[in-house]
Amino acid sequence: MTFSIYSFSMAVLWSSLFFLLLWLCRRSRRLVVCFGVWPLVCVIVCALLRCFFPLEMLSFTHVVTGIDLINSVDYFLKSPVAGLAVTPILILGILWGLGTLFFLVRFLRTYGRFRRLLASFVPVEEDDEPFAEAQEAASRLHIPKFTIYVTNVVQSPAVTGFFQPIVLFPAYPYSSEDFSNALEHEFTHWKNHDIWVKLLVELLRSAFWWNPLVYLLKHDLNQTLELKCDLSIASKRELEDRVSYLRTMEKTICFADKKDAPDFSMFAIAELAHNKEKNLLQRADAILNYEHKPKLSALALVVTSIIMAVLMVFSYSFVIQPRYEAPKEEIEEVTENGVFEEYTADDTYLVENVDGTFSLVRNNQLIDIVERNSAALLIDAGFEIREQ
């Protein structure tokens, strides 16, 4: 397995297509109601895997060359600007690095402010509301330790904490039932490790800040995590209790519309009652019409997994590169008579080295060391890769 700018470009392309597929699937309310949220989670996992493993396997990946547009773009990106030793691809690389650095610094500074804000809060004691409801909800989900804060800083109940749940409650006039519903929601998010998922996507956004489909992923991920949490709760409740859960959401929306709050969504999940009507309708539909269909859900997950596995394998089966001729000195040798001797696939083969280069071997003798791109052209010409 090797890495190159072309394999990286293919990874960005395919992961972006998977982000787009997720967006198209998530738009359907009936899809979530009928098949659950796990098919969407499967798409997200494949998109992230494809993005973080931008590799190619020379024994499997086929090099596609000869596309005029690719050749023209490659020539433009690698041509010096105004006769200087600077190329457009170098300029783009510098801008990319500076943008990534900016977003990472902003992320760390915001996280620092968030931690200082948490340190200024006073936790809820055992005799205070809603500690009893929190103990009951934590016990049901087998969460041994937690911290509860009631503050005016947040608009909606939120959960944070990578290793121990910290729940932030707005100072709203909630009933005991409302506290119980909201706490179960937040603890379920924490139990599902959704905060770690959001952290991963936030880092992905920082690295690929220039890709608009990454922002689409971030938006759809929030809704997917909410649907996953809602359906997990709905699966354990009767219709009357699900209606109570929706009423808590409705009450939170009414309270939240009347106040502003700082945005710490990078480090906390505070989407119990997001006020986007379309998203809320999708969640309400999924909660009220939930039916326990384990066979149908399992079938949907299996079918989705097979489709995504096929797409993943296909995405690694080829890489698009510009066409160029392999240097003559890598495939020909001057003999003692001063005549060029051409190597053919009949008596010459390649051996992959640990550093990513290839040994060109003829009649069990090392002829030369060739780079990966040249080796790819030789493989296309019929040269075999053999074990040493």
pLDDT tens per residue, range 351-378: 888 877 888 888 788 888 888 777 777 7
Q: What local confidence, expressed as pLDDT, does residue 345 receive?
A: 73
Q: Which amino acid is at 140?
A: R
**259 and 363: one domain?**
no
Residue 8 falls within a domain, yes or no? Answer: no
| Pairwise pLDDT comparison (211 vs 34), residue with the higher score | 211
Give the Cβ contact number of residue 276 at 10 Å: 12
Answer whether 73's CB lies under 8 Å from 323's CB.
no
Q: What local confidence, expressed as pLDDT, does residue 334 receive?
A: 46
**224 and 362: one domain?**
no
**265 and 340: one domain?**
no
**277 and 368: one domain?**
no
Q: What local confidence, expressed as pLDDT, does residue 244 receive?
A: 92
pTM flag (> 0.95): no
Residue 227 to residue 232: CA distance in whole angstroms: 8
Percentage of residues of the chain with pLDDT beyond 70: 85
Residue 108 falls within a domain, yes or no? Answer: no
Q: Which of 57-66, 244-253, 329-338 is most confident?
A: 244-253
Tokens of 38: 């796990």
**159 and 269: one domain?**
yes
Spatial CA neighbour of 100 closest among 245, 240, 210: 210
Spatial CA neighbour of 291 closest among 27, 37, 34: 34
Give the Cβ contact number of residue 324 at 10 Å: 13
Spatial CA neighbour of 316 closest among 22, 64, 50: 50
Answer whether 353's CB lies under 8 Å from 377's CB.
no
**227 and 349: one domain?**
no
Model confidence at 100, pLDDT cuts 50, 70, 90, reads very high
**160 and 271: one domain?**
yes
Per-position DSSP letters for 199-246, written without gaps between them: HHHHHHHHHTTT-HHHHHHHHHHHHHHHHHHHHHHHTTS-HHHHHHHH
Tokens of 120: 């200024």
Give the Cβ contact number of residue 6 at 10 Å: 21
Residue 281 falls within a domain, yes or no? Answer: yes
**172 and 274: one domain?**
yes
- Asked if omega into 212 is within 30° of 0 (cis), the reply is no
Q: Which amino acid is at 228?
A: K
**270 and 146: one domain?**
yes
Range in 62-66, 110-114, 233-237, 238-242 the model is least confident about: 62-66
Residue 55 falls within a domain, yes or no? Answer: no
Examine the fold and report which residue of 237, 264, 289 is the final residue of a domain before the chain moves on: 289
Residue 17 falls within a domain, yes or no? Answer: no
Which H or E element spans position 132?
Answer: helix 131-140
Residue 101 has pLDDT above 90, yes or no: yes
Q: Which range of residues forms the domain containing residue 356? A: 328-380
Examine the fold and report which residue of 242, 274, 289 is the final residue of a domain before the chain moves on: 289
Answer whether 272's CB lies under 8 Å from 280's CB.
no
**282 and 172: one domain?**
yes
Number of domains in the chain: 2
Residue 30 to residue 8: CA distance in whole angstroms: 36
Residue 92 falls within a domain, yes or no? Answer: no
Residue 255 falls within a domain, yes or no? Answer: yes
Place of tokens 């190329």: 87
Residue 321 falls within a domain, yes or no? Answer: no
Examine the fold and report which residue of 289, 313, 339 is the final residue of a domain before the chain moves on: 289
Residue 372 to residue 326: CA distance in whole angstroms: 11
Place of tokens 């480090």: 267
**159 and 282: one domain?**
yes
For 258-282, write each residue's pLDDT tens digit. 666 666 666 677 667 665 677 788 8
Q: Is 43 helix (H, G, I), strand (E, B) or coil?
A: helix
Tokens of 307: 């489709």
Answer whether 43's CB lies under 8 Å from 304's CB.
yes
**268 and 335: one domain?**
no
